[in-house]
């Protein structure tokens, strides 16, 4: 028997899922939470095998709830159940440890198959959304920097301070900082050291 827990802030969605999964012979619904904070506590008590997790919920969202649950129960399998419009947040949820995602407009059979697949250690991905979401991840992993941003990043990787970069490129120090802010956001880093390492790994600086 596969122990399944649900987390969704919409009562009708929760009730529909409880009815669907509860009427499936090999599935047992062990809890249905209305927000992310409730989901964390419920998962701790119920010890489910698979958790169907909505992303947009009050108190604590599904991404943070996923992260907290998996810190306590790394063996749990969290599957995001969401709408196609949240593709960027789906990526964040997968980064938090979710093993896959299904769409709320999925056919009931597809949802049940996804739960079973997650329980087997597989990663269920909604077919009609997978290409778009994975494509977004590919674009995010290969950001397009402008020529000026690449110049600034190269000089940062060479250990040059903002004031010297401004002088070297003939721009203001404020403009250098603005370029760096954009670069950090595009390549997904927090500081100059991480940016320099990223530049070295991606062939922008030696």
State the CATH number of the domain containing residue 186: 1.10.10.10
Task: Indicate if 176 and 84 belong to the same structural domain.
Answer: no
Tell me if the pTM is above 0.75. Answer: no
Tell me, what CATH number does 47's domain have?
A: 3.40.50.2300
Task: Indicate if 175 and 95 belong to the same structural domain.
Answer: no
Task: Indicate if 128 and 50 belong to the same structural domain.
Answer: yes
Domain that holds residue 77: 2-139
Task: Indicate if 130 and 187 belong to the same structural domain.
Answer: no
| Beta strand pairing call for 77-82 and 27-33 | unpaired
Cβ atoms of 90 and 131 within 8 Å: the answer is no
pLDDT of residue 199: 84
Report DSSP state, residue 56: S
Task: Indicate if 132 and 155 belong to the same structural domain.
Answer: no
Residue 176 inside a domain? The answer is yes
74-125 pLDDT, tens digit per residue, is 999 999 998 765 667 777 888 889 988 898 888 999 999 999 999 998 888 8
For residues 179 and 93, the model is more confident at 179
160-177 pLDDT, tens digit per residue, is 899 999 999 999 999 999
Task: Indicate if 103 and 159 belong to the same structural domain.
Answer: no
Across the beta sheet with 2-7, the strand order is 27-33, 2-7, 50-53, 77-82, 100-103
Cβ atoms of 136 and 87 within 8 Å: the answer is yes
Query: Residue 64: CB partners within 8 Å, gap ≥ 6?
Result: 36, 96
pLDDT of residue 159: 84
Average pLDDT over residues 141-154: 82
Mean pLDDT in the chain? 88
Q: Which residue has the tokens 């070297």?
A: 168
pLDDT of residue 95: 81
User: Buried b vs exposed e over 71-109: b needs ≥16 C-beta within 10 Å?
Assistant: eebeebbbbbbbeeebbebbbbbbebbbbbbbbbebeee
Residue 206 inside a domain? The answer is no
Q: Which residue has the tokens 């995001």?
A: 80
Cβ atoms of 205 and 199 within 8 Å: the answer is yes
Q: Binning pLDDT at 50, 70 and 90, where does residue 140 land?
A: low
Task: Indicate if 52 and 102 belong to the same structural domain.
Answer: yes
Average pLDDT over residues 181-202: 85
Q: Is the pLDDT of residue 134 over 80?
A: no
Task: Indicate if 109 and 153 belong to the same structural domain.
Answer: no
Q: How many structural domains compose the chain?
A: 2
Residue 81 phi/psi, 5° resolution? -120, 110
């Amino acid at each position: 028997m596969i122990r399944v827990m649900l987390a969704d802030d919409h009562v009708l969605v929760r009730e529909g899922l409880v009815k669907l999964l509860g009427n499936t012979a090999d599935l047992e619904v062990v809890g249905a939470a209305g927000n992310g904070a409730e989901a964390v506590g419920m998962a701790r008590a119920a010890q489910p095998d698979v958790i169907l997790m909505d992303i947009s919920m009050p108190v604590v969202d599904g991404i943070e709830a996923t992260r907290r649950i998996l810190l306590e129960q790394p063996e749990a399998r969290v599957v995001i159940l969401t709408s196609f419009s949240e593709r960027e947040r789906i990526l964040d949820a997968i980064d938090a440890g979710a093993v896959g995602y299904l769409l709320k407009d999925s056919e009931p059979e597809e949802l049940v198959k996804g739960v079973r697949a997650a329980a087997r250690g597989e990663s269920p991905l909604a077919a009609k959304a997978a290409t778009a979401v994975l494509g977004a991840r590919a674009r995010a992993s290969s950001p397009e920097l402008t020529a000026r941003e690449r110049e600034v990043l190269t000089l940062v990787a060479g250990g040059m301070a903002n004031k010297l970069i401004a002088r070297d490129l003939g721009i203001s120090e404020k403009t250098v900082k603005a370029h760096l802010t954009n670069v950090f956001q595009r390549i997904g880093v927090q500081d100059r050291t991480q940016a320099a390492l990223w530049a070295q790994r991606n062939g922008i600086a030696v």
